[in-house]
């Protein structure tokens, strides 16, 4: 359920006409629904009411400060993967004791920042990382709470680029290596192993991969108990999918019932790291048609949003529903929706049938709230889009549109000094 619906023939974001927002802010434009965001968080979090749990929103899905602030006010924690995401989470008011730090490549300075913030725990992905965290924590006279990420070698049945739980993936430790790492963690003076972690991938549309991974974790948990390690937290990651096209992912309630039943008798707090399932359908990307043209039997709708604005179709071959902001009169067209980037891979949709549009019309790409703006770039020296948050009949500009000066601001000092270079 989302709050982007047609009223009187015009697409609305909650109670505001999308065309009115475009008139004020231009295109390309990301528009988010605060009501949808809150609804999705509550629907997910409440699915686990029967067990001690912590919902840590995955910041990488959408890291806008206002987005994070709304979730923090709703009680969410965060799953972060960089020092920058830690900075954002803290700036947005997230409780540090609700922050878990994932990611395979944590730098020394990032570990220090997280220790000073006193986050809940680090999800450790390698023995060398465990040793570095111990050394860094010792250097600042702290004890780091850690969880080791276990790679269960479970096929999530999703796109290979977002699969993270197979032995061929870079993430986590095999179960055999994880046992050795936990034994090492017991002996290190500046780490405290309090959790176990697993994340098998993104955009999962079946429960079976979750349950298969959990069964392997439960077996592993028993081995840790025998080693005298008290596990307080079991982090199952995120990955529950959404409907982009014809997918039918399970509702969070189904996942909640299955996990609660499976975890009966296990004295742990469940941690979940949803991203896409909360953020995906909270946003749309609006773009204006610049030109239409037909080459022999191929029609192109050329818009002002490009792969630098929404890279998922080019990167993953992902589907985003494309619809006109103004309801059509029944006449349709089949076309590729392409952007102005100088790449043949720059497209939002291929061979897509939708209401016929003309130069100057507005199109919306749906399900763009996750991995949309957050993955955007300035490729071809294109200024990044503005972001708007809507609630009811009110709206806020939550990220200004970049201007040309923003493209070069970090290069100006070099320009001034370039003449001093020696030949």
H/E element holding 182? helix 175-187
Residue 372 tokens read as 């949309």
* Cβ partners under 8 Å of residue 73, min gap 6: 93
Tell whether residue 247 is among the known ligand binding residues: no
Within 10 A of 171 (CB to CB), how many other CB atoms are there?
A: 23
Residue 373 tokens read as 């703006």
Residue 363 tokens read as 């199109």
Question: With contact defined as beta carbons under 8 Å apart, do 86 and 101 qualify?
Answer: yes
Tell whether residue 125 is among the known ligand binding residues: no
56 is catalytic: no
- Point out the catalytic residue in the list 56, 198, 342, 417: 342
Tell whether residue 316 is among the known ligand binding residues: yes
Question: With contact defined as beta carbons under 8 Å apart, do 81 and 61 qualify?
Answer: no
Tell whether residue 274 is among the known ligand binding residues: yes
| Whole-number CA gyration radius for the chain | 23
Tell whether residue 23 is among the known ligand binding residues: no
Question: With contact defined as beta carbons under 8 Å apart, do 121 and 142 qualify?
Answer: no
Residue 141 tokens read as 């006279």
Within 10 A of 150 (CB to CB), how many other CB atoms are there?
A: 26
Residue that has been written with the tokens 């528009």 in this structure:
31
Within 10 A of 157 (CB to CB), how many other CB atoms are there?
A: 14
Tell whether residue 352 is among the known ligand binding residues: no
Q: CA-CA distance, 3 to 129, in Å (whole number)?
A: 43
Tell whether residue 131 is among the known ligand binding residues: no
Question: With contact defined as beta carbons under 8 Å apart, do 349 and 364 qualify?
Answer: no
Greatest Cα pair distance in the chain: 72
Q: How far is CA 184 from the centre of its chain?
A: 32
- Binding-site residues for substrate, in ranges, read 276, 312, 316, 343, 371
- Binding-site residues, in ranges, read 239, 273-276, 312, 316, 343, 371
Active site residues: 342
- Binding-site residues for pyridoxal 5'-phosphate, in ranges, read 239, 273-276, 371
């Amino acid at each position: 359920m989302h709050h982007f619906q047609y009223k009187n023939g015009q697409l609305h974001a909650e109670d505001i006409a999308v065309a009115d927002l475009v008139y004020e802010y231009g295109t390309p434009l990301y528009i988010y629904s605060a009501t949808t965001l809150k609804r999705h968080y509550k629907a997910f979090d409440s699915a686990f009411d029967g067990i001690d749990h912590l919902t840590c929103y995955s910041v990488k899905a959408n890291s806008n400060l206002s987005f994070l602030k709304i979730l923090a006010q709703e009680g969410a924690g965060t799953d972060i993967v960089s020092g920058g995401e830690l900075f954002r989470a803290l700036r947005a008011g997230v409780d540090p004791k609700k922050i878990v730090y994932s990611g395979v490549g944590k730098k020394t300075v990032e570990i220090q920042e997280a220790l000073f913030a006193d986050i809940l725990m680090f999800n450790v992905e390698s023995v060398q990382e465990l040793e570095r965290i111990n050394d860094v924590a010792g250097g600042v006279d702290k004890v780091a709470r850690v969880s080791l990420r276990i790679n269960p070698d479970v096929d999530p049945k999703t796109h290979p680029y977002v699969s993270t739980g197979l032995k061929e993936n870079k993430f986590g430790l095999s179960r055999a290596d994880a046992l050795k790492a936990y034994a090492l963690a017991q002996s290190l003076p500046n780490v405290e192993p309090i959790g176990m972690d697993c994340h098998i991938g993104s955009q999962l549309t079946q429960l079976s991969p979750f349950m298969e991974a959990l069964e392997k974790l439960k077996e592993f948990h028993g081995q840790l108990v025998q080693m005298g390690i008290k596990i307080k937290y079991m982090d199952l990651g995120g990955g529950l999918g959404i409907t982009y096209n014809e997918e039918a992912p399970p509702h969070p309630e189904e996942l909640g019932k299955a996990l609660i039943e499976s975890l009966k008798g296990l004295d742990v707090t469940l941690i979940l790291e949803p991203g896409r399932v909360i953020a995906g359908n909270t946003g749309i990307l609006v773009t204006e048609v610049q030109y239409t043209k037909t080459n022999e039997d191929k029609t192109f709708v050329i818009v002002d949003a490009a792969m630098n604005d929404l890279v998922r179709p080019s990167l993953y071959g992902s589907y985003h529903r494309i619809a006109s902001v103004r309801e059509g009169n029944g006449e349709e067209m089949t076309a590729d929706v392409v952007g102005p980037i100088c790449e043949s891979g720059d497209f939002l949709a291929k061979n897509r049938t939708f209401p016929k549009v003309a130069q100057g019309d507005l199109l919306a790409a749906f399900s763009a709230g996750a991995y949309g703006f957050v993955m955007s770039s300035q490729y071809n020296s294109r200024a990044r889009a503005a972001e708007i948050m809507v609630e009811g009949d009110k709206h806020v500009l939550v990220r200004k549109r970049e201007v040309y000066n923003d493209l070069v601001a970090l290069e100006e000092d070099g320009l001034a000094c370039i003449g001093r270079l020696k030949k």
